[in-house]
Amino acid sequence: MTLFDVKNYSARQKLLLAVAAALLLVGLLWEQLTPPEPESRSVAEALERVEDLNKEYPLEVQANKSVPQDLLDDTSEFMRVRQSLDLSNAPEPWPERVEREDYELYINVTADFLVYYFEQLGYTGAKIEAGELDGIPPIVAVSIPKGWADDMTVALKKSIFYRVVLPLILLENQAILADRDRVLAYRQKLRNRSPLSAEARAEMLELAHAYRLASLDPAQTLDLDMLDELLLRVDLIPASLAMGQAAYESGYGTSRFAHEGNALFGQWDWSEDRMRPAGQREGKGDYGIKSFPFPIDSVRAYMRNLNSHSSYAQFRAERAKQRGNQAAGHVDLNGHALAATLDSYSERGSDYTQELQGIITFNRLQRADTLRLLGGDPIYFD
């Protein structure tokens, strides 16, 4: 008798076989109908990523002289808030929390937990819109997981995305202002006919090279004209503009390029590391979308692009007009108005800029142009 000779089985054997077949069928159906658990990222990998990030791009958040005095006084208060947050009622599953000497890291953060954490910090869209929150906590997302916004309302997806991206934008703007202060200091020396040290000269030439103004040739001329032009380039990108473009180009952080390459601004790339789109446009070559180790790298590259590429000279000129006579520090730029100068950013030209302005207006992003970062060590999420 073989396994398939069912007719020769006893009644008990037939019953057991039927039960086994039913259990097998139920198991197969359950496997098909039950969505897989999200992939859990390991603490060790996350720690390595954060430490690499700190090593390559130190993110010390320093309150600069343009920050109002009440925010300077709140620096220690923010640190106390970090250490005394009550997360006992946070929605499950809880992320793994790792405390290091100079930063705090949360692993496998869910959207529900993130919203709860934001609320505990008082970091809400309602408070921002009401003008009740001038200092934004330095929260750094180190990855954009796939499917993070699945089964989420559009309003909630937008709210989380904007609150995650805004600190990255403010961090990079703060770094740009620090570079701008150095340019202003060295320019004043040249105006006073004081010679620059070899180190200072090399520092400025390196910065000018990064902003597409000079070569790294030690014989390159460094004069007031170059530093004046450099000041047009080393300046803030309005937060409302950056948030609007990040939302448009990444589908609020849900695009394949966002979760595969931390790409928020759709910058084209022809290198071997590019991420190829599903359908390349004819006549544009073998292009792709540039990928980045961390989301903040994407923000940095986007800002450097607007601040250095010849296509955005009008943007920089209009920004200089908005800055006016205040050479140093933060100024409240008008991102909505500056969006009109970016018709070269997309092949859609003026249609693109009008849609971008619509995003800024509809989502009331202009308030972000007035915000500053609170001082203190960053908090990292993965």
pLDDT-derived band at 12, boundaries 50, 70, 90: low
pLDDT of residue 8 exceeding 90: no
pLDDT-derived band at 71, boundaries 50, 70, 90: very low
pLDDT digit string, tens, across residues 226-284:
999 999 999 999 999 999 999 999 999 998 888 888 989 977 664 566 555 655 555 45
pLDDT digit string, tens, across residues 305-354:
999 999 999 999 999 999 999 999 999 999 999 999 999 998 889 999 99
Instruction: Name which of 40, 269, 266 is nearest 143 in CA terms.
Output: 40
Most confident of 42-46, 87-91, 163-167, 219-223: 163-167
What gap in Å lies between CA 163 and CA 120, rounded to an integer?
Answer: 14
Q: Which range (79-88, 154-163, 288-297, 323-332) has the least confidence?
A: 79-88
Which helix H or strand E contains 380, and what residues bound it? Answer: strand 379-381
pLDDT digit string, tens, across residues 111-168:
999 999 999 888 988 888 888 886 888 889 999 988 888 889 999 999 999 999 999 9
All structural domains of the chain with their residue ranges: 44-172+236-381
Beta carbons within 8 Å of 17's beta carbon, 6+ residues apart: 6, 9
HSE of 271 in the Cβ direction (CA atoms, 13 Å)? 9
Q: Which range (51-55, 178-182, 235-239, 331-335) has the least confidence?
A: 51-55
200 or 54, which is more confident: 200
Residue 98 confidence (pLDDT): 87
| Residue 363 DSSP one-character state | T
Instruction: Name which of 226, 235, 204, 211 is nearest 326 in CA terms.
Output: 235
**What is the SS3 assignment for 267?**
coil
Q: Which range (143-152, 169-178, 362-371) has the least confidence?
A: 143-152
What gap in Å lies between CA 291 and CA 100, rounded to an integer?
Answer: 28
Phi, psi for 290 (deg, rounded to 5) = -70, 135
Residue 362 confidence (pLDDT): 95
Tokens representing 355 are 């849609």
Summarize the chain as % helix, strand, coil (round to 5). 55, 5, 40
Chain-wide mean pLDDT for the chain?
A: 81
Residue 188 confidence (pLDDT): 94
Strands 379-381 and 139-141: parallel
Residue 166 confidence (pLDDT): 96
| Residue 90 DSSP one-character state | P
User: What is the signed CA dihedral for 148, 149, 152, 157, rounded to 10 degrees?
Assistant: 120
Averaged pLDDT for residues 350-364: 95
Identify the architecture of domain 44-172+236-381 in CATH: Orthogonal Bundle (1.10)
Residue 38 confidence (pLDDT): 45
66 or 174, which is more confident: 174
Residue 97 confidence (pLDDT): 85
Averaged pLDDT for residues 98-107: 83
pLDDT of residue 192 exceeding 70: yes
Tell me how many helices (H) and strands (E) the chain has: 15, 8
Residue 54 confidence (pLDDT): 77
